[in-house]
Amino acid sequence: MDVINNLSFGFSHALTIQNLLFCAAGCTIGTLVGLLPGLGPLATISLLLPLTYSLPTGGALIMLAGIYYGAQYGDNVSAITMKIPHAASIVACIDGYAMTLKGKTGLALFTAGFSSFIGGTVAILVLAWLAPVLSEVALLFGPTDYCSLVLLGFVCVSFVTTGSVLDGLGMCFVGVLLGQIGTDVTSGTQRFTMGITSLFDGIGLVSLSLGCFGIAEITKNLDNKDKRTPFNGEIKLIPTWAEFKRIIPSALRGSVVGSVLGLMPGGGPVIAQFAAYAVDKKVSKYRHEIGEGAIEGVAGQAAADEAAARTSFIPLMSMGIPENAVMALMMAAFVINGIQPGPDMIKTHPDLFWGLVASMWIGNVFLLVLNVPLVRYWLSVFKIPYSALFPSILFFCCIGTYSVNNSLNEIYVTAIFGVLGYIFLRLKLDPAPLMLGFILGPMLEENFRRSMLLSRGSFSTFVVHPISGVLIGFICVLFLWQLLSFVVSARRRTMVPIPVPESGG
């Protein structure tokens, strides 16, 4: 009954007029900004982060969470109506857009919204039940184990987001190095500042992420000479009962898949969508229709998306380890607002923790009753030509980075990371692992130094400690697997030098 008690305690905090307003504002602004081409959840959150600085802590966290899932829904909408994929909505482009081509946009949007609601509800029950348990487990973790956990997170994220452990891990380490810029907390040495005073405090998080995700993406869109036709079709939202019945089983399957994958290191919405889509393709009663605009193709992935987005808060709030780039950004936002996520968070700030959990569900309701019906009006954003839209986005990037601490220096940093992010993009290096490395770097260093101090300088400590040893084992397995698959594919390439002619039929 603990879960129910805790949740009702949380609702008593989340249901104040003020917090309801923050939640609604977060969802709405998040969806609107998330719709814009070139702004996925990462860029949206970093763009809107300065807005929350002046709010009370609880309200700020509630609004940020609202922005996050609002942005995700916005991504889904632009994927369904116009086939604009963001990192978080690649799967929605397949069946969602196919439904639009069939003239069933309204149904697709309703399915996505309603499945998200189911996914979110299931995930919140998982969150309320699992987070306190996991925070007890987290107390068993020493510095050595934290080190290995962070490394495992790096490897998993690399594996998932880029498919190549080497590329992703490289970006993680670049991020770690960028996180080292500034004053070393332990010794007070200035590191990598090149004598520039504004770097003594380190690189600003908002500048880095807006540069790498905002500016770079905008420029990529410009390179592609984006010519998209704005969506002009009709939207009929309310489904028939027969259609409605098809949503439920698929959404429930997606919720389970998403909840589980959201918990894994390196997991999160992206991988959950693909997995849920694959599951539906295997077991759904209508599997032959999936890929050509089936309700199941939208429902499963949307539910998984939402569920994974929620459960990925669990490792962050109970262990203090973000498992993907978005959560790393969330962690930074928590810290800016004066909350250190970790095993103690539930005990020391129960009102914030349970209030946030409850507000997530309220946010889900808002998405369903507010965003789904209003979506047709928001799509008019796309009637603005891109050449008028992107200078406006740039302007808000500038205001956003400036208002972090009223300093123009941040804008130079944004420009530099815009160029760097663009180069990375062209080199097919994903900046998401960089973000994770940047935020986890200081934590990794601190725990590394501590565990080396405790072990008197012996590296064997990472293998001898049972928890750490298991985690290191996982890392080795992942590496071996990657190496093996590389060797196999290279072999196959050299053994069959002549491409097999395609057989007709």
Partner 1 sequence: MTINQNLAKGICLIAIALFFGIQARSYPFGSFSHAGSGAFPLIVCGLLLVIGSAIVVRTWFTDARPFTFNWRNIALVSASLVAFAVLSEYVNMLVGLVVMVMMASYAADDFSFSRALKVALFLAAIALAMRLGLGFQLPLY
Question: For residues 218-257, which are near partner 1 according to CB under 8 A?
Answer: 218-219, 222-223, 225
* Helix count and strand count (H, E) for the chain: 23, 2
Within 472-491, the residues that bind partner 1 by CB under 8 A are: 486, 490
53 sits near partner 1 (criterion: CB under 8 A): no
* Nearest residue (CB) to partner 1, 427 versus 496: 427
Query: Is residue 408 close enough to count as binding partner 1 by CB under 8 A?
Result: yes
Based on CB atoms, which residue is closest to partner 1, 52 or 135?
52
Is residue 43 within 8 A of residue 72, CB to CB? The reply is no
Q: From its phi and psi, is residue 391 left (phi > 0), alpha (psi between -120 and 50) or beta?
A: alpha
For the window 342-381, what string marks contact with partner 1 as x by the rule CB under 8 A? ----------------------------------------
Q: Which residues contact 241 (CB under 8 A, 6 or more apart)?
A: none
Choose the binding region for partner 1 from 11-19, 289-297, 427-435, 470-478 (rule: CB under 8 A): 427-435
Among the listed ranges 28-36, 120-128, 249-257, 419-427, the one in contact with partner 1 (CB under 8 A) is: 419-427
Q: How far is the CB of 51 from partner 1 (least distance, A)?
A: 10
Report if residue 428 touches partner 1, rule: CB under 8 A: yes
Among 331, 332, 315, smallest CA distance to 262 is for 315
Return d(Cα 356, Cα 32) in angstroms, integer: 22
Question: What is the amino acid identity at position 127?
Answer: L
How far is Cα of residue 157 from the mean position of the Cα atoms in its chain?
11
Taking CB under 8 A as the criterion, the residue among 156, 429, 432, 436 binding partner 1 is 429
Residue 21 found at the interface with partner 1 (CB under 8 A): no
Q: Is 92 in contact with 76 (CB distance < 8 Å)?
A: yes
Q: Assess 449 for contact with partner 1 (CB under 8 A).
A: yes
CB contact set of 432 (below 8 Å; sequence gap of 6+)? 42, 87, 157, 161, 171, 324, 325
Among 426, 480, 481, 485, binds partner 1 (CB under 8 A): 426
In the complex with partner 1, the residue whose CB is nearer, 452 or 467, is 452
Please tell me the distance from the alpha carbon of residue 401 to that of residue 393, in angstroms, as a whole number. Answer: 12
Backbone angles phi, psi at 183, to 5 degrees: -90, 130
Q: What angle do CA 402, 336, 126 make, to 5 degrees?
A: 130
CB of 336 to partner 1, least distance (A): 18
* Contact track, partner 1, 137-176, x by CB under 8 A: -----------------------------xx-xx--xx-x
Q: Using the minimum distance from each CB to partner 1, give the nearer residue, 224 or 232.
A: 224
Closest separation in Å from C-beta 293 to partner 1: 32
For residue 452, state whether it binds partner 1 (rule: CB under 8 A).
Answer: yes
Q: Is 403 in the site for partner 1 (CB under 8 A)?
A: yes
3 state SS of 236: coil
Q: How many CB atoms lie within 10 A of CB 416?
A: 15
The position carrying tokens 């080396």 is: 452
Task: Residue 440: name the closest of 273, 266, 304 by CA.
Answer: 266
Nearer to partner 1, 225 or 282 (CB): 225
Give me 467's structure tokens.
Answer: 């928890």
Interatomic CA distance for residues 417 and 414, integer angstroms: 5
Total number of residues that touch partner 1 (CB under 8 A): 64
* DSSP of 141-156: --HHHHHHHHHHHHHH
Site residues (vs partner 1, CB under 8 A):
166-167, 169-170, 173-174, 176-177, 180, 184, 186-187, 189, 191-192, 215, 218-219, 222-223, 225, 385-388, 390-392, 394-395, 397-399, 402-403, 406, 408-409, 411-412, 414-416, 418-419, 422-423, 426-429, 445, 448-449, 452-453, 455-459, 486, 490, 493
